[in-house]
Each structure stands twice: as structure tokens, then as C-alpha cells.
């Protein structure tokens, strides 16, 4: 335990040092929200990997595979394709059309306060849905690290993320995520190497041993996702939901141009893809070496699968190597969660301070220092609410909660964002209709489904994306038609579309044309 605490203390001190360094350089709204748009593709790609390859997924995917076989593998392999949608459809338009948030894009297109308010609601709901599993995973890990109660562990994590965001802003959050990504990828590579050494670099041994121990059905679909529509729904949520996650999308505002944004996505596709593919092997190895009974005894949701595997590979409980490996994985995973919850907190506080306070209440007439002060204050309040949600999420597999959050993003934010970018007739009524129907259907179906109610579920699907995503698009289309034609909005669409594809603001182009004609 002393080894574990020492490793965690070193990582925590490093991240606090980064926060202190960043706080001295974060003076403006651009610096606080977007690190002044000065990150390179590699830096932003690593930070994106830190955002996406969260410890909740790191721990949860391994646990699902260990307990349910190939259904856990489906969860783990989805991220391999999730960023393709972002790369080909979203990354460049986001960078060209926005400033700090998704709300900036919709407000720039619609130029109405009602549409902005709807997007703010979607951003806040999705971020809190994603925050809940991160806090739950952190509570389990910090309890393992320190021996304190789960509730106190969640409070500690909440307090830490408030410090990162309130003082360091995007610059601190980015570099904490970069450090976390490097640590997590390194820890994953070490564990993968140790697993392969045990099976003499033949990963098929893991599959055959699991089949002998748990039966052939263990390697077939349907152990967790018993309904085939759940598998389709999971795929839809992955492929389209990532493009609706505000804390991931706002990362494209931290780079100088659209080309760098695209290159960032390529970086994260390789980094996160390799990482998540390995979690399937980790889960199989844990099922073979540790055993499902021991995994469930440590945590009913399977969230401690990877730390238990690392301990076993290091020599078992009580040995120096076992304690060292356990400490390494637990400390890195905890630092990972601190980084992800910081990104989520920053994204939420940006939506409230920039979109709601500065642009909705003050209509853009606000001092930049005052806006940053509001963002920092809001970060404290968000941290307190996140602590409460984390306590409520105790005992649920964190990977399942992560995917449910992605489902909400796919059903609400993604339809509104895509229709805003590419449909001329789309209007404020469509924004409200898509957001309301997408949010309501995804949240309600998730709350009454098996993920939240278990055997008492009133709805059969763990992941409701297959129903709520079409409803989100339907709400956008119906809302647009019911609201009627907005000719002024449609007239602005050509200029907006030009900016989306070129990054040149129409006003800037007009000024250049006038200057050229005068010369």
C-alpha cells in the first residue's frame, strides 16, 4: 500500500505542478477555454487520447470482457471506428465554424437565443452523464489506493478536479491529459507484454483457456448484450456519439487551423485504437489468471479487473512485484480519471460561463476577466454536483455508464450539430425539437433499461441509441417544418457553409474584396 500511495503521490504532485505553471499563463478567455489555439497536432492528439481513453473505459472494458466474454470485446473495439466519423465529417467544420463550444456553431448559424439555450442544455446533460461513471471509477480506485471509504474517495477526486480547472483552465487540463495519456499507454504496454510473456506470445492461448474454464458460450455474443438490437445500438452509439461529446469536440478549438485538427484525429485513432484493442486481451487474461469469482468479490461491476490482473502478473497479493504493479495501474488509472473529469468540468463550465452567461444573458457584452471568473466559480459548483452523482453511481460497471452517456450525445447533440452544418432549411425550431426529443428519449430509455434497473427493467435494451438517435433526427426535422421557413436564416446559409469549408469568415472575405477593389 505504501508503494501504491507513493506512485500516486508523485503523479499528483506532477499534475499540480502543471496546474501551477498553467495558471500563471492563463489570463484571457481564449487561454482559459482553448489554450489560445496554440497546440500542435501531436499534443492535441495525445490530449484527445487522454480524453477518450478514460480510466472508466480502461477499467470497465476489461471488466466486461472478463465477466461476459466477447460482449466486452464489442465495447472495446468500437473506438477503433468512432473517430472516423469525426475525421471525415466533423473535425474540419468544427474548427472552421466555432470558437470555443458547440453552442458557438449553432448560435452562429441560427443567431437566436432559443437555439443557444437548447444546445447549452444538451451540453450540460451529456457532460454530467459522462461525469458520473468517471467519478464512480475514481471512487473505487482511490478507495483501493488509500483504504478510505468510497464516499470520501469521490469527494477527494471532485476537489482535485476543481483545482485543475478553476486555476489552470484548458492549458492545465491539456497537459494533465497528455501526461495521463503517456502514463496510461505505457502502463498498458507493460501489462500487455507481461501477459504475452505468460502465454509465450500466443494470444490465442487466452481464448482457448477461457473456453475450457467457462465454456464455449463465453466466446460467443449474447452474454451481456442478450438482444441483437443492443449490439446494433452499441455500434450506432459509438460511430455517431463521439461526434456529439462536447468535451471531445471542444478540443478542435485548441489548434490553430483545420489541417491540424484533422491530423489530431489521426494521432488519436492510432493511440486510442491500439489501447482499447488491448483491453480485450486484458479481460481474457484476468478471467484466466484471476478468475471471475475473485473479480466479482473485489467489485460487483468488474471495475477492479485490471488492477487485480496487474497484481497477479507481478507475483500476487503481498509480494513486492504484485504490490508494485497494483500500485502502478491503480495510480495511473486514478490520475487518468482526474484528467478526464477535469476536461468534462471545463467543458461544462465553458458552456455555462461562455454560452449561457456571456452570450445568452449578457448578449456578448461582458468583460473577459469577468467571464473567466464566472467560469472558475461555476467549476466549483459543477465539482460539487459531480461528487453527488459519483456517490449515486456506486456499484455499476463504469463502461456501461460511459456508453449510455455516448448514447445521449448521439441522440441529441449529433443530430443538431450535423443538421446545423449541412441543412439549409434547418432552423431554431429544429434545434429545439431535435434536442428535446433526443435528450428525453435517450435519458428516459436509459433510466428504465437494464443498465440502471437490472432485472426490473421496463425497457429491454441496455443501449437505446437505435431508437433515440432516429428520434433525435425526427425531432430536428419536425421542429424545422412546424416552425416554418426562416428566410433570413436560409439566406445566411451560403456564407456559413463557405466558412465551414474554408475557415474564412464572410466578413473577412468582404473586407479583402473591398480592399482589393480599391487598390
Residue 507 domain-assigned (yes or no): no
Q: Which of 81-95, 376-390, 415-429, 442-456 has the highest mean pLDDT?
A: 415-429
Q: pLDDT-based confidence at 383, cuts 50/70/90?
A: confident
The stretch 383-391 carries a mean pLDDT of 85
Residue 518 confidence (pLDDT)? 41
Report yes or no on 100 lying in a domain: yes
SS3 at position 213 = helix
Per the document, the length of the chain is: 519
Instruction: Establish if 445 belongs to a structural domain.
Output: no
Separation between Cα atoms, residue 226 and residue 372, nearest integer Å: 48
Count how many domains the chain has: 1
Residue 96 predicted with pLDDT over 90: no
The pLDDT, as a whole number, for residue 394 is 72
pLDDT reading at 517 higher than 60: no
CA 383: distance to chain centroid?
17
Mean per-residue pLDDT over the chain, rounded: 85
> Which of residues 401 and 311 earns the better pLDDT score?
311
CA–centroid distance for 506 within its chain: 33
Dihedral, CA atoms, 365, 369, 372, 376, nearest 10 degrees? -130
Cβ atoms of 290 and 72 closer than 8 Å? no
Radius of gyration, CA atoms only, the chain: 23
Q: What is the per-residue pLDDT for 506?
A: 66
- For residue 351, pLDDT over 70 is answered with yes
**Residue at 509 is within a domain:** no
Indicate the range of 9-18, 330-339, 368-377, 471-480 predicted with least confidence.
330-339
Q: Are 412 and 95 in contact (CB under 8 A)?
A: no
Q: With the CA atoms of 259, 264, 270 and 275 taken in that order, what torsion angle do they form, in degrees rounded to the nearest 10?
A: -170
Higher pLDDT, 395 or 343: 343
Q: Which domain holds residue 253?
A: 2-396
| DSSP 8-class letter at 352 | I
Count CB atoms within 10 A of the CB of residue 294.
14
Phi, psi of 220 (to 5 degrees): -110, 155
Q: How many CB atoms lie within 10 A of CB 101?
A: 25
Q: Are 266 and 45 in contact (CB under 8 A)?
A: yes
Query: Which of 110-124, 131-145, 378-392, 444-458 has the least mean pLDDT?
Result: 131-145
Average pLDDT estimate for 188-196? 93
Whether 452 and 129 have beta carbons less than 8 Å apart is answered as: no
Task: List the beta strands (DSSP E) in 363-451.
Answer: none
Structural contact between residues 389 and 106, judged by C-beta atoms closer than 8 angstroms? no
Query: What mean pLDDT do residues 186-191 have?
Result: 90
The owner of cell 452474454 is 223
Q: Residue 52 belongs to what H/E stretch? A: helix 41-52
Is 163 part of any domain? Answer: yes
Q: Calculate helix-pair angle for 398-408, 428-447, nearest 10 degrees.
A: 160
Give the CATH number for residue 52.
1.20.1730.10
Residue 142 falls within a domain, yes or no? yes
pLDDT (mean) for 358-379: 87
In this prediction, residue 438 carries a pLDDT of 94
d(CA 279, CA 176): 23
pLDDT in tens, 323-338: 788 778 877 877 777 7
Which residue is associated with the grid cell 466533423?
Answer: 90
Task: Judge whether 204 lies within some domain.
Answer: yes
497 lies in some domain: no
CA dist 91 and 250 (Å) reads 10
| Chain mean position to CA 104 | 20
pLDDT digits (tens, 9 = 90+) for 118-155: 999 999 988 888 888 778 777 777 776 677 788 888 88
HSE toward the beta carbon, residue 476, CA cutoff 13 A: 30
Amino acid at each position: 500500500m505504501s508503494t501504491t500511495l507513493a506512485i500516486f503521490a508523485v503523479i499528483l504532485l506532477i499534475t499540480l505542478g502543471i496546474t501551477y505553471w498553467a495558471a500563471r499563463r492563463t489570463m484571457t478567455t481564449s487561454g482559459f477555454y482553448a489554450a489560445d489555439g496554440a497546440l500542435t497536432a501531436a499534443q492535441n492528439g495525445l490530449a484527445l487520447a487522454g480524453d477518450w481513453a478514460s480510466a472508466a473505459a480502461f477499467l470497465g472494458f476489461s471488466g466486461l470482457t472478463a465477466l461476459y466474454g466477447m460482449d466486452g470485446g464489442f465495447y472495446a473495439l468500437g473506438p477503433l471506428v468512432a473517430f472516423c466519423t469525426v475525421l471525415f465529417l466533423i473535425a474540419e467544420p468544427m474548427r472552421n465554424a466555432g470558437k470555443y463550444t458547440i453552442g458557438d456553431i449553432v448560435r452562429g448559424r441560427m443567431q437566436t437565443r432559443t437555439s443557444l439555450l437548447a444546445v447549452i442544455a444538451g451540453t450540460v446533460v451529456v457532460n454530467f452523464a459522462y461525469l458520473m461513471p468517471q467519478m464512480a471509477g475514481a471512487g473505487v480506485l482511490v478507495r483501493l489506493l488509500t483504504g478510505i471509504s468510497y464516499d470520501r474517495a469521490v469527494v477527494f477526486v471532485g476537489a482535485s478536479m476543481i483545482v485543475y480547472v478553476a486555476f489552470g483552465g484548458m492549458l492545465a487540463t491539456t497537459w494533465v491529459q497528455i501526461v495521463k495519456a503517456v502514463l496510461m499507454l505505457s502502463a498498458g504496454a507493460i501489462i500487455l507484454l507481461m501477459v504475452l510473456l505468460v502465454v509465450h506470445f500466443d494470444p490465442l492461448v487466452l481464448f482457448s483457456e477461457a473456453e475450457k474454464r467457462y465454456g464455449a458460450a463465453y466466446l460467443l455474443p449474447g452474454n451481456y448484450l442478450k438482444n441483437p438490437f443492443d449490439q446494433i445500438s452499441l455500434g450506432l452509439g459509438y460511430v455517431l456519439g463521439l461526434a456529439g461529446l462536447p468535451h471531445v469536440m471542444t478540443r478542435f478549438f485548441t489548434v490553430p487551423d483545420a489541417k491540424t485538427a484533422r491530423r489530431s484525429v489521426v494521432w488519436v485513432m492510432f493511440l486510442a485504437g491500439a489501447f482499447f484493442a488491448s483491453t480485450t486481451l486484458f479481460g481474457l487474461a484476468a478471467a484466466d489468471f484471476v478468475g471471475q469469482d475473485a473479480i466479482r468479490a473485489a467489485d460487483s461491476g468488474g471495475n477492479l479487473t485490471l488492477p487485480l490482473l496487474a497484481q497477479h502478473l507481478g507475483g500476487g497479493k503481498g509480494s513486492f512485484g504484485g504490490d508494485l504493479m497494483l500500485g502502478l495501474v491503480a495510480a495511473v488509472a486514478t490520475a487518468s480519471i482526474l484528467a478526464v473529469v477535469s476536461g468534462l468540468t471545463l467543458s461544462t463550465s465553458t458552456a455555462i460561463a461562455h454560452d449561457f452567461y456571456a452570450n445568452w444573458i449578457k448578449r456578448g457584452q461582458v468583460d473577459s476577466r469577468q467571464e473567466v471568473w464566472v467560469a472558475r466559480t461555476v467549476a466549483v459548483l459543477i465539482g460539487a454536483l459531480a461528487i453527488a452523482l459519483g456517490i449515486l453511481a456506486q456499484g455499476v460497471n463504469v463502461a456501461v455508464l460511459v456508453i449510455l452517456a455516448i448514447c445521449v450525445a448521439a441522440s441529441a447533440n449529433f443530430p443538431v450539430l450535423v443538421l446545423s452544418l449541412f441543412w439549409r432549411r434547418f432552423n431554431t425550431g429544429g434545434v429545439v425539437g431535435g434536442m428535446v426529443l433526443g435528450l428525453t428519449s435517450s435519458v428516459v430509455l436509459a433510466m428504465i433499461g437494464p443498465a440502471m434497473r437490472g432485472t426490473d427493467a421496463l425497457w429491454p435494451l441496455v443501449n437505446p441509441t437505435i431508437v433515440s438517435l432516429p428520434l433525435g433526427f425526427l425531432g430536428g426535422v419536425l421542429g424545422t417544418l412546424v416552425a416554418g421557413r426562416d428566410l433570413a436564416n436560409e439566406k445566411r446559409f451560403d456564407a456559413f457553409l463557405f466558412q465551414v469549408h474554408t475557415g474564412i469568415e464572410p466578413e473577412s472575405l468582404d473586407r479583402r474584396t473591398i480592399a482589393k477593389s480599391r487598390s
